């Protein structure tokens, strides 16, 4: 849980939001509803935090407590938040063609391996970093399924379609692996 921009200049609500995020990541912390009131629930959550982190358990958010909460909050936010989005950078009108080696092709090959489980018309690929014949054929099959021109090359339209199809296919693949 990340403090909303509307929490700016609302230090109590921000404190409560950070403590709640810590509780989501580590159940030893108290879950707290950010209401903007430094009441008994906030005092209790701050005291628990202080005890867990070797600070004097006063329930008062002094400078040392605030700094410790901030230090714990950023890593916790990474753990409870969404994974970092990754976007490849293709120059305007850049196209990676059959036979070319490019670091982005490793990612494309990994995505195609996941999509192969969801769409049987996409053939297997090796992770070479080269847009080889098998990768080009798999891209062409995917382009056909996506209503794109079947070039077998990687361009921005193909990347966008791959990026949009990947999350659902990965969830399906993950669910199938857990059964």
At residue 90 the predicted structure's pLDDT band, cuts being 50, 70 and 90, is confident
Q: Give SS3 for 86.
A: coil
**Mean pLDDT, to the nearest integer, of 148-157?**
96
**Mean pLDDT, to the nearest integer, of 42-59?**
97
State if pTM tops 0.75. no
**Mean pLDDT, to the nearest integer, of 23-51?**
95
pLDDT at 8: 60
72 Rama class: left (phi>0) / alpha (psi -120 to 50) / beta: alpha
Look up tokens 């296919």; give the residue: 169
Decide which of 80 and 155 is more confident.
155
**Mean pLDDT, to the nearest integer, of 90-110?**
94
Distance, CA of 18 to CA of 13 (rounded, Å): 9
């Amino acid at each position: 849980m990340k403090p909303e921009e509307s929490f700016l200049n609302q230090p109590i609500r921000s404190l409560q939001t950070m403590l709640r995020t810590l509780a989501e990541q580590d159940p030893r912390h108290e879950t707290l509803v950010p209401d903007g009131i430094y009441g008994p629930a906030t005092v209790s959550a701050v005291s628990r935090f202080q005890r867990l982190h070797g600070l004097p358990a006063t329930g008062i958010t002094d400078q040392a407590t605030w700094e410790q909460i901030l230090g714990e909050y950023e890593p916790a936010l990474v753990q409870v938040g969404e994974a970092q989005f990754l976007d490849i950078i293709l120059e305007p009108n850049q196209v990676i063609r059959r036979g070319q080696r490019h670091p982005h092709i490793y990612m494309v090959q990994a995505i195609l391996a996941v999509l192969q489980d969801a769409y049987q018309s996409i053939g297997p690929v090796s992770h070479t970093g080269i847009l080889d014949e098998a990768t080009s054929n798999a891209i062409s099959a995917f382009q056909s399924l996506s209503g794109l021109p079947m070039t077998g090359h990687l361009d921005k339209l193909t990347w966008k379609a791959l990026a949009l199809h990947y999350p659902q296919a990965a969830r399906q693949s993950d669910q199938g692996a857990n059964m």
